[in-house]
A and B are shown apart, each in its own frame.
Chain A
């Protein structure tokens, strides 16, 4: 789908939802310290959809999970950096952000699902097989929107009902809901929950939401389960939605429907989205900007259109040329020679230098920083540096032909 111009893009004054700075996540493995994410920085602007793309193992999911501190520690370590996050209030009042890596656990619980929601590749695994769809979606309302559950009550609802809305009822209270005087308010609460769950499901264009509510995950197709996940994720109107390969397990025709849906909902609710995928052609259809990741680092970042038409980083160029397209002849797909480097205790060098056809001596001993130079969007490659910047002779720099990607 062509991305409607919805978001304030690289405009410096546009407010940010999140800002990742020099994020480092390492894992202790038998072979040594694995630098899964090694100095990653990017911003997510208010209302935009940012695509994070790269091949398997480059660190996309680890980056995404660290927003919610879902990295298992140990073997993982948050080895450095910050993830600043501005809630709606902070953005409106010009307040200061919180660092998601530092906030106390209690505050993190509130942020999870309420401010930042995440959907995963495999909806089958993320849903509880033993609970009906109604119960699973209702959970979100009980946990994060118990105030809404009590909306429209004349006066204060009875205390046990207030406790029920916050899922704090004891066993005895549950029994009390079966008899007067609490039976009718309990029914009313239940109806309110049903309505909210039904509406949330309807918004994802699930046919017959009331019927789906009574089903269990195994009775639903993959596309339906992913819609349930989306309904759950969007139920609390989060500030940021992180979608980690949400359609990779689905068929193409269904995948296209789910992508349209995420885009529609994003525009309607003005939600910011971090969309993760290994599939560049998909991301291209729904993201305003794209960050290309390679071996734990960001290679380049920019507006989708620019990245596709004028890829700067040699890795991005290789990746785009390797996708079978109308222009290709059989047997003549571009290949990127070699394999992804070991992420164990990496040397200070460009992560791509073993595979890059432009690499020079310099690339093997100096890691290129991700910097925006005058007239260029941010790219991590020495080929765009000036001799002064690095203090080397011009012939030591890689020669990147900008017109022939």
Chain B
């Protein structure tokens, strides 16, 4: 178990299904600083508790709108940045993962010393931020990254030969003419050739530059590559060349991919399994065909509705968008993070004080009259107005049909007292990913058992 190179447990499951990368509750927060002293006033929760595995020889597609944390997660996985919480594991067997999950459930205090020792040895052997020496090097060379913007990721003052050959030199894999020959081989594998060795990045088109990036990623013959929007900056006719190339390389070399993109057509074509992210969290995860054929999350449905070409019988399908904006990841919504935009939200989806304030500030009289919001929690607060009349107006607005039904139903207390308006929403837990079918998980409470919806008024 301690030797990364020949993990014996890997043989127990089918070879092609061995997880290469395993995420367990991964978090990455960025501090938000303010003022002259640059004090930390909060955190951007770019990645907020993400778990999944990427299996040997497969492509996992990671899809979601910009800012949802895809790049940050990809960088964490490739070891380019540290994590705030949770763990990323390299070649962690299913059995070990289950053991770790079990131990988390037991809690550290109640584990036996034997169990603690086993946890420790698994973590030392697989958890990327605990790897040292040779195991760290093995992970680093087996895990490569291709960036969206091939132009800024290639040093403009270096020749192609040096760009592609650099990993080989750093890892002392080759030098001299041997190095040159290895670089030529790599260039040929991505559809370029010897004639390109002594040129600079700016002498290439966008598609060719992306080929150079791919050649560089392949230099150390890695097992796994993070592809961060590798074709988003390219035109469709060039995109199709790169997508075909990536597929061929995967076939020839048995590569495992994490394919990050915001393009649903591309992710559907390229992935075996798809993870849909929203504001740092996984909303849904399923096989590629399954996700498109029977989505089990309103956010996934919204993404599909915005791309009707991908639906069967697309001819007459209407293209539909979503109202509202993506929430601030420094202050993400409670309950289900999608509740502020979800067209089918229920009273149990996490309505909170911020939602009430957002609706009230759509009314300019109320907005101007609102003096302060004193919260005792995200779900409970006293709104203070300049005039009792405005407080009464706010109360009747929150009780009116102008407010979404689900939000009104979640409002368990609405009480005006002079210039003060007390509001309290029913407190709910954060939603969890749950299995709904074989290999299909969703966090939407409409599809899972995490909320008893019938018991609501």
Name A residues whose Cβ lies closer than 8 Å to a Cβ of B: 1-2, 55-56, 207-208, 210-211, 221, 223-224, 251-260, 278, 280-281, 284-285, 318-319, 322-326, 328, 330-336, 339
Contacts of B265 in A (CB 8 A): 281, 323-325
Of all chain B residues, the one with the shortest Cβ separation from A207 is B362
For residue B236, CB closer than 8 A to chain A, the reply is yes
**Looking at chain B, what size class is its interface with the partner chain?**
35 or more
For residue B262, CB closer than 8 A to chain A, the reply is yes
Contacts of A339 in B (CB 8 A): 205, 207
Choice from A252, A259, A318 contacting B262 with Cβ under 8 Å: A252
B322 touches A253 (CB 8 A): yes
Total A-B contacts with CB atoms under 8 angstroms apart: 116
Using known A-B contacts A211-B361, A224-B325, A325-B310, determine if residue A332 contacts B235 with beta carbons closer than 8 Å.
no
Among B105-146, those with CB < 8 Å from A are none
Of all chain A residues, the one with the shortest Cβ separation from B59 is A330
B240 touches A335 (CB 8 A): yes
CA distance A332 to B240 in the complex (A): 9
B235 touches A324 (CB 8 A): no
Contacts of B306 in A (CB 8 A): 252-253, 255-256
Choice from A211, A253, A280, A322 contacting B240 with Cβ under 8 Å: A322
Q: List 16 A-B contacts (CB under 8 A).
A: A2-B318, A55-B237, A207-B362, A208-B361, A208-B363, A208-B364, A252-B307, A255-B306, A255-B321, A256-B319, A323-B309, A324-B265, A324-B268, A326-B314, A331-B251, A332-B244
Choice from B247, B312, B325 contacting A330 with Cβ under 8 Å: B247
A333 touches B240 (CB 8 A): yes
Choice from A55, A56, A256, A278 contacting B321 with Cβ under 8 Å: A256
CA distance A326 to B239 in the complex (A): 17
Nearest CB in chain A: distance from B341 CB, A:
8
Using known A-B contacts A252-B65, A331-B247, A332-B244, determine if residue A281 contacts B321 with beta carbons closer than 8 Å.
no
Interface SS of chain B: helix, strand, loop or mixed? helix
Contacts of B251 in A (CB 8 A): 331
Interface 1/0 per residue, B254-275 and A, CB below 8 Å? 0000000011111011100000
Choice from B207, B240, B305, B312 contacting A326 with Cβ under 8 Å: B312
Nearest CB in chain A: distance from B182 CB, A:
26
Nearest CB in chain A: distance from B326 CB, A:
7
Nearest CB in chain A: distance from B456 CB, A:
27
Closest 5 CB pairs of A and B: A257-B321, A256-B321, A331-B247, A333-B240, A253-B322
For residue B302, CB closer than 8 A to chain A, the reply is yes
Contacts of B235 in A (CB 8 A): 55-56, 278
Contacts of B308 in A (CB 8 A): 285
List 17 additional A-B contacts (Cβ < 8 Å) besides A254-B321, A256-B319, A326-B312: A2-B318, A211-B362, A223-B325, A251-B262, A253-B303, A253-B322, A256-B320, A257-B323, A260-B319, A322-B237, A324-B269, A325-B265, A325-B309, A331-B247, A331-B251, A333-B269, A335-B241
For residue B192, CB closer than 8 A to chain A, the reply is no
Contacts of A260 in B (CB 8 A): 319-321
